[in-house]
């Protein structure tokens, strides 16, 4: 099948709405190919039925997701969609919870205690049939999220404020976000992560206490839980990978590797020389002294 067009996406959304809306615009928001499949996420605007994400690609079903619900950005809805595809594929063969977790998190590096919990909760959906089974999944999702909060939280994050209770997942995540995602450049990121965090916790609680929970509700709860763990692991990778902020000063590529460094007499690195794998230029990064956090560079210059 060739790539789907604007008309394909427009017709699909209007058909799904049973003719109750007209698509005003639809454009590809992002491409993904990290799982060996070319997948496209469309940003769709309608006149009377809100905004939608449409995910489609080579060999996978097309589906749409409301932007006003739990799917806040193209990357998150892609992860959610591919997780569901993994689950649907498993129904036709042997279900492997580990593959499901890796599919939803895009094989992000998950700390062992959380990875074990995620595999455990993902395994539950394979045999869940009754209301009590679905409620148990909600409980396991809650426990996994509490473990996530304990994993990412450090008491120093509270500063002079009161320490959150041991099981106060949302407060620990809020303090973590405030501590690590500072500045105006992270404003949208903070907002999105906070919404996703609160929604996932609230949804897990809903599954736990509802007497009308279905298999699909429980499956959604598991997918959201797994995806949120992947999101926080990505934040930690961003925090502890200070070089991810840099780009080549000549071609602006981010394909950089450390060529060498220049420490002072105390062994503290004052300069880094980053080699661009794209154009071969060297970018000089100069760090400021006496910083409490990872020192930002003050200039980056292409060197001869």
Q: From 186, 210, 239, give the residue that closes a domain.
A: 239
Tell whether 29 and 97 lie within a shared domain: no
Provide the domain limits for residue 57.
1-69
Average pLDDT score over the chain: 84
pTM of the predicted model as reported, rounded to 2 decimal places: 0.61
| Two structure tokens written together for 47 | 């006149």
Tell whether 79 and 22 lie within a shared domain: no
| Two structure tokens written together for 41 | 């996420």
Tell whether 83 and 202 lie within a shared domain: yes
Tell whether 46 and 133 lie within a shared domain: no
Indicate the number of domains in the chain. Answer: 3
Residue 303 banded pLDDT, cuts 50, 70, 90 = very low
Helices 169-180 and 131-152 cross at an angle (nearest 10°) of 40
Tell whether 77 and 217 lie within a shared domain: yes
Q: From 20, 43, 69, give the residue that closes a domain.
A: 69
Kindly report, residue by residue over 242-285, the tens digit of the pLDDT.
Answer: 677 788 989 999 888 888 888 888 778 788 889 999 999 999 88
- Using DSSP, state whether 287 is helix, strand or coil: strand
For residue 295, pLDDT over 50 is answered with no
State the Cα torsion 166-171-176-178 to the nearest 10°: -150
Q: What is the DSSP letter of 49?
A: S
| Two structure tokens written together for 151 | 């994993």
Whole-angstrom Cα distance, residue 274 to residue 113?
A: 35
Neighbours of 169 (CB within 10 A): 24
Q: From 239, 256, 283, give the residue that closes a domain.
A: 239
Tell whether 162 and 48 lie within a shared domain: no
Kindly report, residue by residue over 129-169, the tens digit of the pLDDT.
Answer: 899 999 999 999 999 999 999 999 999 999 999 999 989 99
**Pairing status of strand 297-303 against strand 60-66:** unpaired
Kindly report, residue by residue over 57-104, the tens digit of the pLDDT.
Answer: 877 778 888 887 655 688 878 877 777 776 665 555 567 888 889 888
Tell whether 228 and 159 lie within a shared domain: yes
Q: Which of 2-6, 113-117, 171-175 has the lowest mean pLDDT?
A: 2-6
Burial class (CB in 10 A: 0-12, 13-18, 19+), 299: exposed
Residue 197 banded pLDDT, cuts 50, 70, 90 = very high
Tell whether 94 and 137 lie within a shared domain: yes
Tell whether 235 and 200 lie within a shared domain: yes
The strand pairing partners of 39, in sequence order, are 32, 57
Tell whether 126 and 178 lie within a shared domain: yes
Tell whether 131 and 224 lie within a shared domain: yes
Burial class (CB in 10 A: 0-12, 13-18, 19+), 216: exposed
Tell whether 134 and 259 lie within a shared domain: no
Q: Which of 9-18, 168-177, 206-215 has the highest mean pLDDT?
A: 168-177
């Amino acid at each position: 099948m060739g790539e789907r067009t604007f008309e394909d996406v427009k017709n699909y959304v209007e058909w799904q709405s049973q003719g109750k809306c007209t698509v005003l615009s639809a454009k590809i928001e992002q491409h993904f190919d990290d799982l060996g499949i070319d997948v496209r996420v469309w940003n769709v605007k309608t006149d009377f039925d809100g905004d939608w994400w449409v995910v489609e690609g080579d060999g996978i079903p097309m589906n749409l997701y409301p932007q006003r619900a739990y799917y806040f950005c193209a990357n998150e809805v892609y992860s959610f969609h591919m997780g569901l595809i993994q689950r649907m594929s498993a129904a036709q063969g042997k279900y492997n919870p580990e593959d499901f977790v890796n599919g939803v998190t895009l094989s992000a590096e998950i700390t062992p205690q959380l990875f074990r919990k995620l595999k455990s909760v993902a395994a539950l959906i394979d045999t869940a049939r009754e209301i009590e089974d679905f409620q148990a999944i909600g409980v396991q999702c809650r426990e996994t999220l509490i473990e996530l909060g304990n994993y990412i939280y450090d008491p120093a994050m509270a500063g002079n404020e009161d320490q959150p209770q041991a099981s106060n997942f949302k407060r620990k995540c809020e303090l973590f976000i405030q501590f690590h995602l500072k500045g105006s450049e992270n404003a949208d990121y903070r907002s999105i992560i906070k919404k996703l965090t609160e929604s996932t916790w609230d949804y897990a609680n809903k599954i736990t206490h509802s007497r009308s929970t279905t298999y699909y509700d429980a499956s959604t709860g598991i997918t959201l839980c797994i995806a949120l763990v992947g999101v926080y692991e990505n934040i930690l990778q961003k925090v502890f990978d200070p070089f991810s902020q840099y780009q080549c000063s000549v071609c602006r590529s981010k394909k950089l590797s450390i060529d060498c460094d220049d420490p002072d007499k105390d062994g503290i690195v004052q300069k880094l020389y980053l080699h661009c794998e794209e154009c071969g230029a060297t970018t000089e990064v100069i760090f400021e002294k006496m910083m409490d956090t990872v020192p930002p560079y003050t200039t980056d210059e292409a060197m001869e």
